[in-house]
Amino acid sequence: MKERRSRREFLGASAALVIALASEARAQGGRPRPTPACGEYGVTHPQTPGPFFKPSSPMRASLIEPGIGGTRIVVEGTVMTIDCKPVPRAILDFWQADSQGEYDNTGFRLRGHQLSDDAGRYRLESVVPGNYPGRTRHFHVNVQAPGQPVLTTQLYFPGEPGNQRDGIFDPDLVMKVRDGDGGKLATFVFVLDPAQGRRR
């Protein structure tokens, strides 16, 4: 009898937990927030690469070149392990739409890769990507620690009207963005979980 009551209590508690998680998921737009892995940062979620990735991008931290219009932006941050250690020499391969929402699918305009430095830091100079049909404003990026699986994900902007209409949008992938001299300054910390890459 005692055991049966305990089991009922357990099932009741489990149901309450499920309801609590479901309501949190609704509040977050579909899923619970990840458990913080590194300070305030959870493991960075993977996302689809979409149809416009091209391999063999040039190695460059600045995607600015003649003829590139739009609002300048610097995105910087750190690549970290799940136990919060910086990852030197991680490859970060960025690609994005131009300010009009167009990808360069013949050349390498607004595409480039770089390596994180000895402290795991990266710094991208570019322009704010434009919206295109069905998608809110975003960067694409592949991040790979040496000898580890590739994390493919996307970075988003806060306060964009299109965020809530975009089925791929993930609030945990929103950068911190502020106005700087002559453009925007954005930050994002990548936290890599090697097991996540192996599960995919």
Q: How many residues does the chain have?
A: 200
Cα angle value 12/15/19 (rounded, 5°): 140
* CB closer to Fe ion, 52 vs 123: 52
Q: Please give the torsion angle defined by the CA atoms of residues 114, 115, 119 and 122, in that order, rounded to the nearest 10 degrees.
A: 20
Burial code (b: 16+ CB inside 10 Å, e: under 16) for 46-71 equals: bbeeeeeeeeebeebbebeeeeeebe
- Report the half-sphere exposure of 93 (CA within 13 A, side-chain side): 17
> Nearest approach, Cβ of 111 to Fe ion (angstroms)?
12
**CB 96 to Fe ion: min, Å:** 7
| Residue with smaller CB distance to Fe ion, 41 or 94 | 94
Burial 146-184 (b: 16+ CB within 10 A, else e): eebbbbbbbbbbeebeebeebeebbebbbbebeeeeebb
Cβ nearer to Fe ion, comparing 50 with 183: 50
Q: Are 78 and 134 in contact (CB under 8 A)?
A: no
Please choose, out of 45-53, 55-63, 71-79, 173-181, the segment that lies near Fe ion by the rule CB under 5 A. 45-53
Binding mask 48-77 for Fe ion (x = CB under 5 A): --x---------------------------
Least distance from Fe ion to the Cβ atom of residue 127, Å: 14
The CA distance from 96 to 53, in Å, is: 9
Closest CA to 110 of 49, 188, 53, 174: 53
Q: Which helix (H) or strand (E) holds 95?
A: strand 91-95
- Size of site (CB under 5 A) for Fe ion: 1
- Minimal distance in Å, beta carbon 140 to Fe ion? 6
Ranges within 142-171 binding Fe ion (CB under 5 A): none
> CB-wise, 66 or 161, nearer to Fe ion?
161
Closest CB to Fe ion among residues 34, 50: 50
In the complex, the smallest distance separating the C-beta of residue 100 from Fe ion, rounded to whole angstroms, is 13
The residue with its CB nearest to Fe ion is 50
Nearer to Fe ion by Cβ, of 50 and 194: the residue is: 50
Q: Which stretch binds Fe ion (CB under 5 A): 18-26, 43-51, 85-93, 109-117?
A: 43-51
Q: Residues interacting with Fe ion, by CB under 5 A?
A: 50
